Amino acid sequence: MNVPLLDLKAQYQTIKDECLEVTQEIYESQYFILGPYVEKLEKEIAEYCSAKYAVGVSSGTDAILLSLMAAEIGHGDRVITTSYTFFATAGAVSRVGAIPVFVDIEPDTYNISPAKIEAAIKEMPGSVRKTLKAIIPVHLYGQCADMDRIIELAKENNLVVIEDAAQAIGSEYQEKRAGSLGDFGCFSFFPSKNLGGFGDGGIVTTSSKDQYENLKILRVHGGHPKYYHNQIGGNFRLDALQAAIVSIKLKYLDQWTKARQENAQMYNSFIKEAGLSNKVTVPFEKENRHIYNQFILQVADRRDELKDFLIKNNVGCEIYYPVPLHLQKCFADLGYSTGDFPVSEYAAEHILALPVYPELREEQIAYVVDQIKQFYA
Ligand SMILES: *Cc1c(COP(=O)(O)O)cnc(C)c1O
């Protein structure tokens, strides 16, 4: 049996006619950038995320970059974020000239630890603390970070909160949607996300009218009116084609999310039944709507050998992420070293993502678990 990590072809077959129809319409119109399809998607996503507004952008990375720019975070400022996430979260901070301040994660959810954020702020000398401007929590793998405590800390210290919700569309924290919790919510339509386009794309949510207007201006080089620049923005525009495809997919998102959650439950029970609970730990569901962008196993030992074994037996799997951000070469000048964030370092060496996409069949999940069992036999 073959179980790829992700199979987008199966999903495409179910929406093919709708996609071809809208694509052809856009080709005929020759109207490709922003416009009515983008505006329609912005309204739909704002509503889906319980935010007042949304601004379609060129990628999830640009969503973070644009939010930082809108919050006027720049040279010499500091931004707290997690040491265990996709590179873009911290890359965007450096690209606006600010300094990422890494904080370790919780061992059960892999999300940034509020207690460690608090400790990091306390430890800062006054002069450094004055430069601290924002926190970027990441809702990793599809589960929200502990936002109440994070927002409380942000309020106490006058910090902007930018949610990196690239993996978490529709995810909930205490019945509130990702993207409605902080000042900005950043989403990605990269094809492997739960709501992916046919290329790159992203969106920023906000409930501030002023920031909504500001984001739209910065998206087009900061020109307002056109060709008159009071600030420097960039080209962060979303294509009509991407917006139209994402709008179509949004109608099916809840159904796909439900299938992912059911697949996760199936893994949980098959792993238990197979007596593997002492070898691998299944995800800890802390918040009430985990949308399972990834199904992450924690593997006590021989993780890399297990990965090779699964791949050899046609099971797609991947390590998200093998190097915590504080140990990336490009951040060497920040002065971190091995041992600084032990929970992130442990995760990097012990986690393994298994296929969890909606179209996965029960026998495929059974096969994956059976292969894990055979590896340990
Ligand atoms: C995918 C992802 C991004 C970047 O999104 P792109 O659309 O690929 O630029 C940022 N942060 C996290 C946590 C992601 O998973």
The Å distance, Cα 213 to ligand 1 centre, comes to 24
Which residue has the least CA distance to atom 1 on ligand 1? 166
* Pocket flag, ligand 1, residue 188 (CB < 6 Å): yes
Dmax (CA) for the chain in angstroms is 69
pLDDT in tens, the chain (377 residues): 999 999 999 999 999 999 999 999 999 999 999 999 999 999 999 999 999 999 999 999 999 999 999 999 999 999 999 999 999 999 999 999 999 999 999 999 999 999 999 999 999 999 999 999 999 999 999 999 999 999 999 999 999 999 999 999 999 999 999 999 999 999 999 999 999 999 999 999 999 999 999 999 999 999 999 999 999 999 999 999 999 999 999 999 999 999 999 999 999 999 999 999 999 999 999 977 999 999 999 999 999 999 999 999 999 999 999 999 999 999 999 999 999 999 999 999 999 999 999 999 999 999 999 999 999 99
Residue identifier of the C-alpha nearest atom 7 of ligand 1: 60
**Strand pairing of 99-103 and 78-82?**
parallel
Start and end residues for every CATH 3.90.1150.10 domain found in the chain: 253-376
CA of 371 to the centre of ligand 1 (A): 30
Q: Is 253-376 assigned to CATH 3.90.1150.10? A: yes
| Ligand 1 pocket residue status of 190, Cβ below 6 Å | yes
pLDDT digits (tens, 9 = 90+) for 69-116: 999 999 999 999 999 999 999 999 999 999 999 999 999 999 999 999
Q: What is the pLDDT of residue 222?
A: 97
E strand or H helix at 154:
helix 147-156
* Cβ–ligand 1 contact at 53 (below 6 Å): no
From the CA atom positions of the chain, what is the Rg in Å? Answer: 21
Cα(266) to centroid(ligand 1), Å: 27
Residues of the chain with CATH 3.40.640.10: 8-104+111-250
State both tokens at 9: 């072809």
Gap from CA of 166 to ligand 1 centroid (Å): 5
Q: How far apart are CA 348 and CA 73, in angstroms?
A: 30
Q: Would the CB of 138 count as within 6 Å of ligand 1?
A: yes
Whether residue 85 has its Cβ less than 6 Å from ligand 1:
yes
SS3 183: coil
pLDDT of 287 reads 76
295 lines ligand 1 (CB under 6 A): no
- CA separation for the pair 290, 169 (Å, rounded): 10
For residue 169, the CA-to-ligand 1 centroid distance in Å is: 12
CATH 3.50.50.60 given to domain 8-104+111-250 = no
Closest Cα to residue 182, out of 214, 217, 124, 138?
Answer: 138
pLDDT of residue 288: 79
Q: Give distance in angstroms: CA of 172 to centre of ligand 1.
A: 19
Query: Distance between CA atoms of 80 and 124, rounded to whole angstroms?
Result: 12
138 forms bridges with which residues in the sheet? 164
Decide whether any atom of ligand 1 lies within 6 Å of the 48 Cβ: no
Instruction: Read off the DSSP letter of residue 238.
Output: P
Lookup: tokens for 204: 């920023």
**Ligand 1 touching residue 167 (CB < 6 A):** yes
Report pTM.
Answer: 0.98
Residue 88 Cβ < 6 Å to ligand 1: yes
**Top mutation candidate among 188, 194, 292, 325 for ligand 1, by most atoms within 8 Å of CB:** 188
**Relative to the CA of 59, which ligand 1 atom is closest?**
7
**How many Å lie between the centroid of ligand 1 and the Cα of residue 294?**
13
Q: Which atom of ligand 1 is nearest to the CA of 190?
A: 7
**242 C-beta closer than 6 A to ligand 1:** no
Ligand 1 contact via 162 beta carbon (within 6 Å): no
**Cβ neighbour number for residue 141 with a 10 Å cutoff:** 23
Q: Which of 62, 105, 164 to mutate to test the pocket of ligand 1 (most atoms within 8 A of CB)?
A: 164
Nearest to 239 by CA among 41, 28, 24, 63: 41
Task: Report how far residue 111's alpha carbon sits from residue 139's, in angstroms, rounded to the nearest whole number.
Answer: 7
